Structure 1
Amino acid sequence: MDFLHDSFAVEIAAYDEWQERSRKNNFFELVYILDGEGHQRVNNILHPYHKNGIFLLPAAKCHYYQVDRPTRFLFVRFTGTYFVPGPNDYVDYSSWFSRLNFILGNNNYHSGEVVTDPEDKAQLKRLLDSILYEYEKKDICSAFIIQNTLVAVLAIICRNMQKRMLSGRMFSDDRFAELLNFISFNILDVEKLSVPHLSQRFHIAETYFSEYFRRNANERFQDYVMKLRLKIAESRAVYTDASLQNIALELGFTDSSHMNRMMKKYYNKGMRQIRNGQKQEA
């Protein structure tokens, strides 16, 4: 039975043989293997799973599990309202919305575990065990504790994704990797991504910032930020039911037409083509 909340749902399910499940109206789903073993198939790619395995799947991707030994799964489904504070919330989650968009925009959703660093995986397991405990306890504070724990879960996933993205890249200035991290995790904050703010934070002369960024990234700062936002827009069009107009406004575009023009300029495809193409494949 599901533990339901406005912004997430937690479910434990046991299978001797995999059965199709309904996963509507969610951004993505975190899967924690409590017991058992078998294989996960995503886009016709098989990957073995074992006890304590942790996977991340979007709502729209076709997948299933080949259960070799009876398996208990812990599913955590994130909904579109996860980072929108509700009237009874005591914590402002708006600053974490960039983490959600970062995951949507940068995860390739291939088969395999979402966190590979051994220490981070151990920490993630402890957090998921805490969620499991609160799921089974189901008292008046459990939803609040789970919601706060999920903030840490997503932060660890983001950290591992960023490590993989920067792996093998060499920069002449160590600050530049930190700068890219800061941009990725604050992509929706116009003030923090302004040249004056970035110049001050990373001790780069404002008049030199554009040249500094182009020299290290081999592209203009404005183009880099735009491509990041468009990548997130593409993922949100594919993996969520949000309207194109809402996606555009949340990502800082004037309207959906502006977002569509930018997508065509940088990637030679329109937003409706992106959304309709995915629906045809699903």
Structure 2
Amino acid sequence: MIQLNWQDIFIIDRFSTSRWDPDNNGDLYFQILFIEEGSGRITIKNKVTPFKSRDIFVFAKDEIPQIKTHENTTFIVFKFTDLLFSSKINLPDRQSWLRRSEFILNHPKRKFEESLKSGKDRDLIWRILFFIRKENNAKEQYHLQIIANMVSTILSILARNVTSKNPESVKPRSHKKSDRIDEIYAYIRYNIYDSNLLKISAIAKHFHITSSTLSNYFKKETGNSLHNYILLYKLEIAKDRLLNSDFTVSQIAIQLGFTDESHLTRIFKKYCDATPKQYKDSHITTEE
């Protein structure tokens, strides 16, 4: 097991400034920006969004915010590095962090805007944030485990705010077909690591319809079978893990609910025209 400092994987930074200096750290997986006090505007890819005190933003690794402050502003930044993917480290609650961050960053309805829609959730996150900072400063026994659990909670709260409705409790009552499909997408992505919850019968039960009705509806609206959509989404996660982590094919197979390495390899080759190893090797060679 490689011994790494907590700060190599997860960085907490708090500072006040009237001028933001962009962070070009290529090792970042994603970051969460908390506006403790102040105001200004954030620009990403020519889109401008204003910010104020207690706003929260999530940025993927390829999203480098350009920030202009209107006054002296206090920021708190959570930085998650690519080492989060490493299977050779023992980080408390790492799998929960990966699952929630993937849901947030890869959700089809995600867009660049302030991340919270619920005022109650905002209050809850800022209370949790206070205790994270307190634990991080005191560094008493078990503080890493306590911080990891609280960060998991923050990620879960952000995940349920990706859409205007909670993906755990949403019911398909919308009159808009696109909204209903988005609700099904959200459920699948939220539960992608739980094979039992991804059974068509389980999804149908969640949405209070029959399995055949669900399957027929999904096929009619998307042109793809529900089973195939789930499988393709798992393969997209597998590709990302192959290129950005040191997980073995066997570990990725277990994480995504495949029977074993050979099962994942067979499915991967069928849909991607290469084995996982061939896919990884070809992309590494291309990058070099």
Residue equivalent to 1:125: 126
Give the count of matched residue pairs.
264
The CA distance in 2 between the partners of 1:137 and 1:150, in whole Å, is: 17
Residue equivalent to 1:134: 135
Q: 1:171 to 1:216 in 2, by over 3 A?
A: farther
Contact 2:31 2:80 in 1 (8 A): yes
Map 1:1-282; keep pairs closer than 5 Å.
4-5=6-7, 7-80=9-82, 82=84, 94=95, 97-106=98-107, 110-163=111-164, 169-170=174-175, 181-195=186-200, 198=203, 210-211=215-216, 213-214=218-219, 219-229=224-234, 232=237, 236=240, 241-242=244-245, 253-254=264-265, 260=272
- Bigger drift between 116-125 and 45-54 goes to 116-125
TM-score (normalizing by structure 2): 0.68
> Deviation at 1:45?
1.4
Contact 1:27 1:80 in 2 (8 A): yes
Give structure 1 stretches of 5+ with no counterpart: 263-269
Q: 1:36 to 1:201 in 2, by over 3 A?
A: closer
Q: Report the RMSD for the aligned CA atoms in angstroms.
A: 4.6
Q: Deviations over 1:102-132 (max 9, x none)?
A: 1121167644211122222222222222222
The CA distance in 2 between the partners of 1:258 and 1:125, in whole Å, is: 47
Contact 1:27 1:59 in 2 (8 A): yes
Q: Deviations over 1:40-96 (max 9, x none)?
A: 11112111111111110012223221122112211101234548788766x665366
Q: Deviations over 1:114-168 (max 9, x none)?
A: 1122222222222222222223333343322221111111111111114369899
Contact 2:87 2:247 in 1 (8 A): no
SS of equivalent residue, structure 2 residue 265: coil
- The one-letter amino acid of 1:131's match is I
- The one-letter amino acid of 2:133's match is L
Contact 2:96 2:152 in 1 (8 A): no
TM-score (normalizing by structure 1): 0.70
The CA distance in 2 between the partners of 1:123 and 1:169, in whole Å, is: 28
Contact 2:93 2:152 in 1 (8 A): no
Q: 1:137 to 1:107 in 2, by over 3 A?
A: farther
The CA distance in 1 between the partners of 2:109 and 2:212, in whole Å, is: 36
The CA distance in 2 between the partners of 1:116 and 1:136, in whole Å, is: 30
> Deviation at 1:226?
3.9
Q: 1:140 to 1:117 in 2, by over 3 A?
A: same
The CA distance in 1 between the partners of 2:271 and 2:103, in whole Å, is: 18
Contact 1:57 1:109 in 2 (8 A): no
- The one-letter amino acid of 1:153's match is I
- The one-letter amino acid of 1:104's match is L
- The one-letter amino acid of 2:225's match is R
The CA distance in 1 between the partners of 2:209 and 2:173, in whole Å, is: 24
Contact 2:43 2:65 in 1 (8 A): yes
The alignment-based identity, stated in percent, is 22
Q: 1:22 to 1:168 in 2, by over 3 A?
A: farther
Contact 2:85 2:246 in 1 (8 A): no
